[in-house]
Chain A
Amino acid sequence: MARVNRRAVRWLRGELPDLVASGTVTPEAADAIRRHYDSRESSQANFGFVLLAIVGSVLIGAGVILLIAHNWDELSRPLRSTIALAPLIGAEVLGVFVLLRRDESPSWRESVAICIVATLGTAISLISQTYQIQGSFADFMCLWMLLSLPIVYLFRTTVGAVAYVIGTVTWLFAKAGWRFNDPAELCFWLLLLAIVPYYILLLRRDRASAAPTFLSILLVAATAIGLGCTAELTRANLGGVAYAGLFTSIYLCGMRFFPRGEGQRLHPLSLVGGLGIGVTAIVLSFEWMWHLPIASMWSMHGAPQAIGIAVELFFPAVAVALLAWIYGKRQKTAFSIAAAIMPLVAGLALLIANLAPPETRGDDSAYSMAAAIIFNVYALALGIELIARSVRANSVARANFGLLIIAALAMCRFFDSDLGFVTRGLGFIIVGVGFLVANVIFFKKRKGAA
């Protein structure tokens, strides 16, 4: 059963008297609709109570462990281990109860799943300390996450999935901090991939609610972090193209699978993708981004490097495939063409930067300058297209984002180029006036429409 959209229910309740008055629905039918949503909402309200109960019991459990820890040294090792295992066994028994008797209640499933994951981590760490188990924090996180993964699927828990994604990123940070150039960091993608089937199931079950949106944004953040680490490990100069591909894919997915009308607010996924595209465009407009140093001793070699390159190229490939698919199907999907072609522009810029002779590829050259100019023109076009689209959609936020891209671009060029103060000053004034004029026009237009 899908979760209740409270805003929609409030709207429907407000409409019911009118519907009854106009004879569209009978008073009995209106009462039945009210009763139906009352019962659905009250079952959701229980979630708060169960959550509070779980938080309370976790706090009591933690307090008991701390009290015992006060005399930890005085206890024998087997006794300490039993104390460490007891909460885990209790949580697992509760898990059996929930699967048997409360399987239909999302609040019970979410709460018990978190309880199992937390007590599992506590048991592993306490026993590791009791028996002086060696090994890094990364090893602990990896074991904890792998053991927690089945819980996400068995209890269909989004909170568990969120904890899992955060855990994998924590593992990646721990692994990256432990030693340089460790190909094992690439296992992050396998760990992250393991949660994707759950994400797809969640989207199929209830695409409109907040849970899949939140998980989507978290997955985007985790992927962006993972991509940064992979680019750093691989050192194949594909980072820019990879990020262009990632954010474009996200933007296109958001626009295609969560479509909104022209005047409506964008879905958070499209918004995150759009913001990512804007930031990436500005970052890639710097010339030093197109210095392509030859792989150093710190980079990976052989098969791990090939895997890293494949991961980096996967995202632009997905973006291009999505674009081709949307065009091929001739479906009416409104999206920014400038935003959608960023991986192609990044690919072209990379190609040009690669034409530089090997000895100058790592420094300023005519080729790196050409690549940077391409991205400056692209960022400008992106900003202008956003403003043009915003006029059509009458969206102040979109217009300001377009102007923000142009302003950021102007600011970056003014600070990293040798232009005189007068030119810089004039540039800022022009962009500032642009902001003001655009906003005045939009507000007037809106007032006129109202």
Chain B
Amino acid sequence: MLSVHIQKRLPDFFLDVSFSVHREIVVLFGPSGSGKTTILNCIAGLVHPDAGQIALDGQHFFQQGKKPLPVQKRKVGYLFQDYALFPHMTVAQNIRYGMKAGKAGKPGRTDTETGLGRLLATVGIAHLLDNYPHQLSGGQKQRVALVRALATAPDILLLDEPLSALDADTRRQCQDELLRLHAEWNIPFLLVTHDRDEAEKLADVILLVEHGKIIKSRAATSVSQ
């Protein structure tokens, strides 16, 4: 379980949120600039709150007064807006980037390796391994970024508007994939979106965020898959 208490002074408002995420999909829903990405960045460790506490399954990521756990040690998968794929590496190199090396210093035939094969098949990008990011469509980049984040076997997955740049059809496909992946991986997913339908479709719980505060928290009203 991820437990989050963040207080942080931002240029336009004061961010003050408290919530927890179990092995479910929680959506942070709200207008642009309401602090949602900052919340994700605090959980990942890319920025730090001014005060508060962040812990995952009892392990402290951030605690006021103590040195925060470095990003590298947090086992957090992060799907960035615009995907942040390394442009100078192939899809295969991107995906392998976070994976532990095998005995010979190369990715070995570990569980991760065979799990990776399944993941690639589920998401359908195995044929793109030698391509470079600039050769991929938006939907393909999104899938590569997703596999790259999951290839490290993280304890939680953060997604920052992962589908906003996609056309409606691709978007629907990717939403279904996300739901399937979540059912398979059974880790907390924390997703940011400002698309109402998407929030309703994907979320188990929706947190409405506005001007740095959670103004409403409810279970999703639609029947999910």
| Real binding pair | no
Give chain A's interface residues, CB within 8 Å of chain B.
none
